[in-house]
Amino acid sequence: MDNEGFVIDHVIYGVVDVDAAAARLREEHGLGSVAGVPHLGGTASRIVPLGPECFLELLGVADTGRDDGAWLAATLQGEDRVLWWCLGVADLDETARRRGLPLRVGQANPDRDSLTFRSAGMPQYPLPFFLSLVGDPEDRHRIQRERYEAAGHTCAPTGYTFVEVGDHQPVLEGWLGPDHGLPIRYAPPPARRGIHACGIATAEGEIVLR
């Protein structure tokens, strides 16, 4: 596969308590957040905007009586951790076609706007999934700029510096292609599969989340 224009759209940080995790990130690292969109499957979220192109999603357990909440609680086992990651792509139709993946449509509803996304590959967890915005990318950039200002960061984050994964390198490169151009580090065995950590660039230095 040739380069498909991958960028790290967002990293999902699984947390037991969304509000407590948001308070900790602000206190320890100066990262602010804003309310996420409502979830129907038993999870809750807050968004840590890192710039117009990317963000960190805090995904928390809200209702273990629902499928997603039960899955998240069982996966975390009481420990907040970096859980999953999502890639923006240049051409989602082509990315999905190459991998034989179906496309899904979802909608995010910030306070004053509605954004429609398409995604592919979510059932392949913990491999990264793929996403693209339907419509004018400037709509998302504007919303992300507004969220960034509303978050009130004290460290001025600018984006991701790396992701660390436990996947066997040939498996992940088979999924992404050898020319993916992403800042991936591979954790030594016997690390669990999927993403383990990520780095965030800020004016105060690099923040590493695990």
Which residues span the domain enclosing 144?
Answer: 7-155
- Decide if 141 is inside a domain: yes
Mean pLDDT of 16-43: 94
- Decide if 122 is inside a domain: yes
- Decide if 2 is inside a domain: no
142-153: per-residue pLDDT in tens? 888 999 999 999
Question: Residue 22 is part of a domain; what is its CATH number?
Answer: 3.10.180.10
- Decide if 178 is inside a domain: no
Number of domains in the chain: 1
- Decide if 45 is inside a domain: yes
DSSP the chain: ------EEEEEEEEES-HHHHHHHHHHHH----EE----SSSEEEEEEE-SSS-EEEEEEE--TTSHHHHHHHHHHTT--EEEEEEEE-S-HHHHHHHHTPPPEEEEE--SS--EEEEEE-GGGTTSPEEEEEES-HHHHHHHHHHHHHHHT-SS-EEEEEEEEE-S-HHHHHHHH-TT----EEEPPTTPPSSEEEEEEEETT--EEE-
- Decide if 200 is inside a domain: no
pTM for the model stands at 0.94
Task: Please tell me the distance from the alpha carbon of residue 49 to that of residue 151, in angstroms, as a whole number.
Answer: 7
What is the pLDDT, as a whole number, of residue 158?
Answer: 97
- Decide if 173 is inside a domain: no
- Decide if 208 is inside a domain: no
What is the pLDDT, as a whole number, of residue 108?
Answer: 62
At 186, is the pLDDT very low, low, confident or very high (cuts 50, 70, 90)? very high
Torsion sign (Cα): 71, 72, 76, 82: positive
At 140, is the pLDDT very low, low, confident or very high (cuts 50, 70, 90)? confident
